[in-house]
């Protein structure tokens, strides 16, 4: 089977401008700027197969968002290559856009003052869906995500959990083969988190959507993922199936397991 | 014929227009501000026309001139600040994942909102001006042309505001550029005083900038609505729209290089 995501030696370095502290430092940096190279991601290699549910985790600054940005075509890598659904993301961003979905927990794609249905109608146009395909898909997603009563309410009147369900529907309208989720449960209460996890599992099970998830919530990892990629300081320090990881760390909570992986890597 | 690319921008425009039209509080707030400005200017012009260079124009005409200026100015939004915020928070980068051009979507979204505000504020402004002055100093045809030019002016202001916003790729904060742009618009656009009242050298400078087309030269059709003048303003709009679009596209393209290669 051909991998949905294939990454080989992917690296990204940023050149950061350094400013000395204080007014004098700020002034001198205008004339003599000091720069430093920051290696955000270093030689990542992995492959993800269709239908897999992968948790891509790591501490803040580990390079998770940079990797997602490269895999969705937002950032160009410094070295290495990647293929997502057979396309090089940074060369074919628009074409890839039709085949992937993204949910960024802290960013909304819904129009704040309008009912979510209006955003769905707009996205159907953006993703160039035919009317019949859109209607069928929307009806299906409304059923899965239980949105019947929410469609006509302005987004500003929705709770965070309800909004996130709408965000997921917005990301799934065009039937993406891969869904990138960056902290999809951030800020949600326990019930809403459980609901989102159940819905993601149902989606993956019924439609075979590949899930690529980042989260700091270990329950997200336990309840959704079947494979775990741990990133630290720009490199992968663990690539394991969830079952294997659990059997290696008998009776330990996921949080302790992850802490142990970080400790070993440093 | 089904044209998905056009349809998606039309959909953005419609949605934005609808959102702005439903935001009644903002429309009422802008209307109150605009009417306050007009009432103040109506009184100022009443006194000033007796003691200044503007004495050549009747106060009623000057109020209509100001009304056409303020209409476009108040309806125009700070889209540059939106671009700045979207760049700083990363929303701009994340929006690139969707199969729609950021620049095209931002323009159509802002233009949709602008059109809603121009329609609402236009009704308020021109009804007020007609009632206050007791006259409408142009024919129906001239009025229609001036209204159309108002929408062009809003579009031109929007494009140049977007150019200002895009400077964030290099400056991180476009506020200083925005401040300079705004002040130049007020002065060289002839916000308070028709450009014909300026010293000749300053008139020449103003005529070579887009500011006069956005505000004063366009609104001055109230004072001189000859067909030659209408044709000149129409041509100037097209020329400046072209210049603005080229600048915007070129700067955005360079900026995107910074974003995709250096991460913003």
Q: Which residues pair with A14 in a beta bridge?
A: A38
Mean pLDDT of B227-252: 94
Residue of A nearest to B100 (CA): A126
> Across the interface, do A126 and B97 touch by the CB < 8 Å criterion?
no
3-state secondary structure of A176: coil
> Across the interface, do A14 and B260 touch by the CB < 8 Å criterion?
no
Q: Is the pLDDT of residue B55 over 70?
A: no
What's CA B191's distance to the chain center, in Å? 12
Residue of A nearest to B3 (CA): A128
Angstroms from A30 CA to nearest CA on chain B: 13
Q: Would you say B134 and B86 are in contact if contact means Cβ atoms under 8 Å apart?
A: no
pLDDT of residue A121: 92
> pLDDT tens across A42-97, in order?
999 999 999 999 999 888 888 888 899 999 998 999 999 999 999 999 999 999 99
Q: Please, which pLDDT band fits residue A195 given cuts at 50, 70 and 90?
A: confident
Q: Would you say A230 and A72 are in contact if contact means Cβ atoms under 8 Å apart?
A: no
Q: Is the pLDDT of residue B2 over 60?
A: no
pLDDT of residue A91: 93
Tokens of A16: 């950061």
The DSSP secondary-structure symbol of B142 reads: H
Question: Domain limits of chain A?
Answer: 49-265
Q: What is the DSSP string of A11-41?
A: EEEEEEEE--SHHHHHHHHHHS-EEEEEEEE
> Across the interface, do B90 and A107 touch by the CB < 8 Å criterion?
yes
* Higher-pLDDT residue of A234, B176: B176
Residues of B in contact with A12 (CB under 8 A): 263
> pLDDT tens across A208-221, in order?
899 999 988 888 88
> Across the interface, do B262 and A73 touch by the CB < 8 Å criterion?
no
Q: Is the pLDDT of residue A113 over 90?
A: no
Mean pLDDT of B131-159: 93
Q: Would you say B216 and B241 are in contact if contact means Cβ atoms under 8 Å apart?
A: no
Q: What is the mean pLDDT of chain B?
A: 89
Q: Which of A91, A120, A125, A180 to mutate to test the interface with B (most CBs of B within 10 A)?
A: A125
pLDDT of residue B161: 96
- List, in order, residues 6 or more apart from A15 with CB less than 8 Å away: A35, A36, A37, A38, B262
What's the pTM? 0.84
Residue in B15, B19, B97 closest to A74 by CB: B97
Look at chain B and count its residues.
264
Interface predicted TM-score (ipTM):
0.78
Alpha-carbon gap, residue B202 to B220, rounded angstroms: 16
Residue A234 parent element (H or E) = none
Among candidate residues A224, A173, A157, the one with its CA nearest the CA of residue A195: A224
Sheet strands (E) in A59-187 = 79-84, 100-104, 178-182
The share of chain A scoring above pLDDT 90, in percent, equals: 39
Alpha-carbon gap, residue A262 to A266, rounded angstroms: 6
Q: Which residues pair with A53 in a beta bridge?
A: A211
Residue of A nearest to B23 (CA): A113
Mean pLDDT of B245-250: 96
Q: Is the pLDDT of residue A4 over 60?
A: yes
Alpha-carbon gap, residue A5 to A79, rounded angstroms: 17
Residues of A in contact with B12 (CB under 8 A): 122
pLDDT of residue A72: 92
Name the pairing type of β-strands A53-57 and A227-232: parallel
Question: Cα(first)–Cα(last) distance of chain B, in Å?
Answer: 40
> Across the interface, do B94 and A102 touch by the CB < 8 Å criterion?
yes
Residue of A nearest to B104 (CA): A126
Torsion of CA B84, B86, B88, B90, to 10 degrees: -160
> Across the interface, do A118 and B260 touch by the CB < 8 Å criterion?
no
Q: Would you say B207 and B240 are in contact if contact means Cβ atoms under 8 Å apart?
A: no
> What are the Cα distances from residue A127, in Å, to A91, A101, A124, A182, B42?
19, 11, 5, 21, 51
How many CA atoms does the CB half-sphere of A93 hold within 13 Å? 20
Alpha-carbon gap, residue A239 to B170, rounded angstroms: 39
Look at chain A and count its residues.
266
The sheet carrying A235-241 orders its strands as A100-104, A178-182, A210-214, A53-57, A227-232, A235-241
- List, in order, residues 6 or more apart from B137 with CB less than 8 Å away: B60, B61, B64, B222
* Higher-pLDDT residue of B179, B58: B179
Residues of A in contact with B261 (CB under 8 A): 75-76
Q: Would you say B150 and B70 are in contact if contact means Cβ atoms under 8 Å apart?
A: no
Residue A124, burial from CB neighbour count under 10 angstroms (0-12, 13-18, 19+): buried
Q: What is the mean pLDDT of chain A?
A: 87
Tokens of A42: 């270093």
Angstroms from A93 CA to nearest CA on chain B: 7
* Higher-pLDDT residue of A19, B67: B67
CATH architecture of residue range(s) A49-265:
3-Layer(aba) Sandwich (3.40)
Q: Please, which pLDDT band fits residue B263 given cuts at 50, 70 and 90?
A: low
Alpha-carbon gap, residue A80 to B146, rounded angstroms: 57
> Across the interface, do B98 and A121 touch by the CB < 8 Å criterion?
no
> pLDDT tens across A183-192, in order?
888 877 888 8
pLDDT of residue A47: 94
* Higher-pLDDT residue of B30, A27: B30
Mean pLDDT of B186-197: 88
Q: Please, which pLDDT band fits residue B31 given cuts at 50, 70 and 90?
A: very high
* Higher-pLDDT residue of A18, A52: A52
């Amino acid at each position: 089977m051909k991998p949905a995501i294939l990454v080989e030696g992917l690296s990204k370095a940023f050149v950061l401008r350094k400013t000395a502290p204080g007014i004098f430092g700020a002034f001198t940096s205008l004339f003599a700027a000091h720069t430093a190279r920051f290696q955000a991601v270093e030689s990542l290699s992995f492959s993800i197969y269709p239908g897999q549910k992968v948790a891509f985790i790591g501490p803040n600054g580990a390079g998770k968002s940079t990797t997602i940005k490269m895999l969705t075509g937002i950032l160009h890598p410094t070295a290495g290559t990647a293929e997502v659904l057979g396309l090089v993301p940074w060369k074919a961003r628009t074409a890839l856009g039709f085949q992937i979905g993204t949910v960024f927990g802290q960013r909304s794609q819904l129009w704040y003052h309008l009912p979510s249905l209006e955003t769905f109608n707009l996205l159907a146009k953006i993703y160039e869906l035919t009317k019949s395909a859109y209607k069928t898909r929307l009806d299906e997603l409304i059923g899965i995500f239980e949105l019947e009563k929410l469609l006509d309410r302005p987004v500003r009147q929705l709770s965070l959990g309800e909004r996130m369900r709408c965000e997921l529907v917005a990301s799934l309208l065009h039937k993406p083969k891969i869904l990138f989720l960056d902290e999809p449960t951030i800020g949600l209460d326990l019930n809403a988190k459980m609901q989102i996890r159940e819905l993601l599992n149902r989606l993956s099970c019924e439609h075979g959507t590949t899930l690529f998830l980042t989260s700091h919530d270990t329950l997200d990892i336990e309840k959704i993922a079947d494979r775990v990629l741990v990133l630290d300081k720009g490199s992968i320090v663990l690539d394991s199936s969830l079952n294997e990881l659990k059997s290696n760390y008998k009776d330990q909570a996921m949080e302790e397991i992850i802490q142990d992986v970080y400790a070993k890597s440093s | 014929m089904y044209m998905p690319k056009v349809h998606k921008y039309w959909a953005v425009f419609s949605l934005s227009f609808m959102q702005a039209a439903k935001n009644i509080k903002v429309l009422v707030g802008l209307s109150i501000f605009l009417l306050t400005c007009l009432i103040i200017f109506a009184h100022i012009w009443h006194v000033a026309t007796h003691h200044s260079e503007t004495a050549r124009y009747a106060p009623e005409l000057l109020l209509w001139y100001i009304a056409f200026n303020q209409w476009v100015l108040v309806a125009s939004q700070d889209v540059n600040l939106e671009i700045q915020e979207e760049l700083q928070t990363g929303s701009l980068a994340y929006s690139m994942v969707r199969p729609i051009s950021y620049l095209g979507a931002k323009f159509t979204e802002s233009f949709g909102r602008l059109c809603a505000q121009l329609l609402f504020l236009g009704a308020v402004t021109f009804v007020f001006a007609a009632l206050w002055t007791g006259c409408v100093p142009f024919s129906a045809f001239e009025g229609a042309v001036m209204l159309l030019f108002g929408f062009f002016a809003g579009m031109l202001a929007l494009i140049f505001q977007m150019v200002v916003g895009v400077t964030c790729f290099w400056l991180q904060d476009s506020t200083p550029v925005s401040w300079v742009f705004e002040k130049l618009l007020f002065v060289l656009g002839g916000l308070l005083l028709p450009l014909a009242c300026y010293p000749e050298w300053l008139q020449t400078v103003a005529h070579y900038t887009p500011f006069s087309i956005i505000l004063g030269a366009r609104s001055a059709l109230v004072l001189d609505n000859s067909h030659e003048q209408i044709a000149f303003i129409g041509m100037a709009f097209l020329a400046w729209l072209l210049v603005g679009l080229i600048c915007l596209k070129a700067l955005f393209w360079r900026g995107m290089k910074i974003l995709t290669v250096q991460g913003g």
